[in-house]
Amino acid sequence: MSEQSVAVNAATLVELVTALPGVAGIEPGIASTLRTLDARLRSAASELTGGDDSASDRARYGVILDEETVTVEVGLEIAPRAVRETVVDIQRTVAQALGNDGRTVLVKVQSLG
């Protein structure tokens, strides 16, 4: 990550993304669900051993923060807004929240409803 990297956790990104017009909500896929469960198990284990539990800040159902990429899994509303426009808004919002640190922002549209 670059020096401009901003400390933003997955919970904050969920709030920012779900506030955007056209986003019905976060819809986790199997990848983010498994990563979040793993992070929570590791966090619980680290509480017992007194270790670092920062993994739980980087994974949340529907959002995964990695060193080089951020993945956001969403459901979009079918509205006058185009899907592409909403996806671009999500990418821009996440990139700005992270301080435009060079990470790729992937948006997986899980459903249109």
CATH code, 79: 3.30.70
Please state the domain count of the chain: 1
| Average pLDDT rounded to a whole number, residues 68-81 | 88
Do the domain assignments include residue 2? no
Q: Which domain holds residue 41?
A: 10-112
Q: For residue 1, is it within any domain?
A: no
**Is there a contact between 103 and 69 (Cβ–Cβ < 8 Å)?**
yes
Evaluate whether residue 3 is within a structural domain: no
Confidence tier at 18 by pLDDT (50, 70, 90):
very high
pLDDT at site 71: 93
The angle at the Cα of 108, spanning 102 to 110, to the nearest 5 degrees, equals 165
Could you tell me if residue 90 is inside a domain?
yes
Q: What is the pTM of this model?
A: 0.78
